[in-house]
Chain A
Amino acid sequence: MTQNHCATEDQQGFKLVRVSGEVDLSWSQRLRKTILDALATGRPVAVDLSQVTYIDSSGIAALVEGFQNARGKGQRFNLVAVSKPVHAVLELARLDRVFPIFANLDEANK
């Protein structure tokens, strides 16, 4: 099982938030804070979801909050490498067309 984890790094001009494991109520607040902190830098933010095996509505809420926060400031907020389980939940919540989703950072930079 992948360990629940999230961390920010600088990648190709983005603040990239890498997330792994099962995102649920037990630590989604940590993800929320990490995303908001990344946005606070004013730089374009991307969230890498390739290692996420499960996400619940509290994790989705953290992403939605980040997206709205960025949109308010005209800041870029992208999801990259969205794993199948995450995509399935985004689809179920009809959010798959709301977020700007890219296969990787290169695509996001085009």
Chain B
Amino acid sequence: MTLPTAVSARDRSIGAEEVGILADFSHAFAATLDIDETLRRAVAQIAEYMNAEAAAVFLVDEDGSSVCRASAGPVDVVGLRVERGKGIVGRAIAENRVQLVRDTTRDPDFLGNQRGFLSRSILSAPLDSANGPIGALQVLNKRDGALFDTHDADVLRLLAVPTALALNNARLSRELVEQNRIKREFQLARQMQKTLLPPRRRDLPIVAMNLPAREISGDFYDYFEVDDGRIAFCVGDVAGKGMDAALLMVRASSCLRWAGKDGATPGVWLSRVNQELCETVTRGMFVCALVGYLDRNTSQIELASAGFPPLLLYRDGRFREIPADGPPLGILKDTGYDAQRLALAGGSLYAFSDGVTDVRGPDRRPIGMDGVRDLIKRVAGVSPRARVRAMVGHLRKLALADDTTLMLLADDDAPTRYLGGMGGLSDPQNLCLVRRAVSDIVVGLGFNETERQRLVLSVDEAVANVIRHAYGGSIDGRVELSFWLDPGAVRFELRDFASPVDATRIRPRDLSECRPGGLGINLIDSVMDEWTFLRPDGGGNLLRMVKRLP
């Protein structure tokens, strides 16, 4: 920084006295964060030290004009505003140089006397910062009537340094306070979001966990019991990761809870939420969601998915992928969602937001469905809660790219369930009732239509065999049929009270041999995974047929 050439040099160097006030200044600024109070004291000290009638500090405002923040002297000029580049202050800032005006009447930039104060001689030094001048210090009129000189200019320039530093510090600390405030608010938002998630329920066969990628999350989950005893569950993933996503998450989660309270079918449940979100959500934002019910009595799950990633059903070391069947919520009004049914039956159903598949592995690539399958296999064999914990623990070690939510439905408590049964006479007229019953039982177990038809056929054949062979066509024999859900399989038990059959003589015949009879047991053999004749207590025969779930 060079002094204006107009300044004539009087040989007085900066000495111990100046170093003293500089030290006082620096100390005062360092000791306080209340910048206004410090500035008030500083300008008073500057005025005193420089033997000036008045002193003031101006700071550049957002619009480029400068405002007086503190003043000392007979007239209070705090709040006085000087336009950009105007006046001596404006010039000091614009040129980033000390301005020494010995006689104001001869300076074209002099703005005139302010608030009745007669300014004769002015000295103004810019307050510099890394990003350019942030304001200026100004002293007016020497008390003894003398004029400011270059020594005064040097001193003011020197005093401007700690003042500028202190102002910078104050600004930084204000920003820090603001950042902390925002951080605190995000933490509060996170805490609030957490309260929207349901508490752990050890009595329910559901475990879920949420790992936000940032302070707040766009993912959510919920589970609760509905009036008929079924357990309702939902998982959602809001597009985006910021505050807007978090706010939509709050809205969507309360909406989903409300819409599933009355036990409406999963399809209706999703349609309701879709309608509501379509009406209220900002264009371009949407929610992927999965909703469903678990009936613990039958171990059946009915669910519907709106653009949610495929679910994985893991049972007996095998996976079944259950894809989404509708678009995400909040995009298209009047969208219909189809429900899917499947049997949990000792298996584990994993639902996870795309944050799980998007987690980066050691090779920095998303782990994908295969990675999730590996993870599921790796954690198998421990309790559901331990499995979810282990999975989350593993995911935490990898690079989370997105909010990550994991829900596991696993009912380990009661591996075998009675699905239903019927009893009646060995009358062929009753076969159609048998078919209806079997058809109703297998509909919710995840079999496709062909498989269901084959199961119906097999049980029908088994009953027909009892009628024809065990009871020899007499229609007054007693036949009992019961249906069971074992871990991973459905079991049909057919009981008769006829003379014991010779099980060794009942085996499927060679199909290449084309003849009318003996086809029934053949059909049973090709449809069922297992069939056995047992000798039950109380006589008769028990045919047990087992079909693994898909």
Contact = CB atoms under 8 A, between A and B. Distances in A.
Contacts of B520: 56-58
Given A22-B435, A57-B464, A92-B523, A64 B516 contact: yes
A60 B432 CA distance: 17
Contacts of A62: 516
Nearest to A61: B516
A12 interface: no
Contacts of A24: 428, 431-432, 435, 460, 464
Nearest to B524: A57
Given A25-B468, A61-B517, A92-B526, 15 more contacts: A25-B431, A26-B428, A26-B429, A56-B457, A57-B519, A57-B523, A58-B520, A64-B519, A67-B514, A68-B516, A85-B453, A88-B450, A89-B523, A92-B527, A95-B514
B514 A98 contact: yes
13 contacts: A26-B428, A26-B429, A26-B431, A27-B428, A57-B522, A57-B523, A58-B464, A58-B520, A60-B519, A65-B516, A68-B514, A92-B527, A93-B523
Binding site of A, secondary structure by majority: helix, strand, loop or mixed?
helix
Contacts of B519: 57, 60-61, 64, 93
Contacts of A92: 454, 457, 523, 526-527
Interface string B450-461: 100110110011
B511 interface: yes
A73 interface: no
A27 B427 CA distance: 11
Contacts of B428: 24-27
A92 B467 CA distance: 23
B515 A64 contact: yes
A54 interface: yes
Interface in B423-442: 427-429, 431-432, 435
A110 interface: no
Interface string A37-74: 00000000000000000101110111011011000000
B514 to A, nearest CB: 6
A97 to B, nearest CB: 11
- Tier of interface size on chain A: 20 to 34
Contacts of A67: 514
A22 B526 contact: no
Contacts of B460: 24, 56
A92 B511 CA distance: 10
A54 B435 contact: yes
Nearest to B512: A94
Interface string B113-145: 000000000000000000000000000000000
Contacts of A56: 431, 457, 460-461, 464, 520
Contacts of B450: 88
A64 B518 CA distance: 12
Interface in A78-106: 85, 88-89, 92-95, 98
B132 to A, nearest CB: 82
B461 A57 contact: yes
Interface string B152-177: 00000000000000000000000000
A94 B464 contact: no
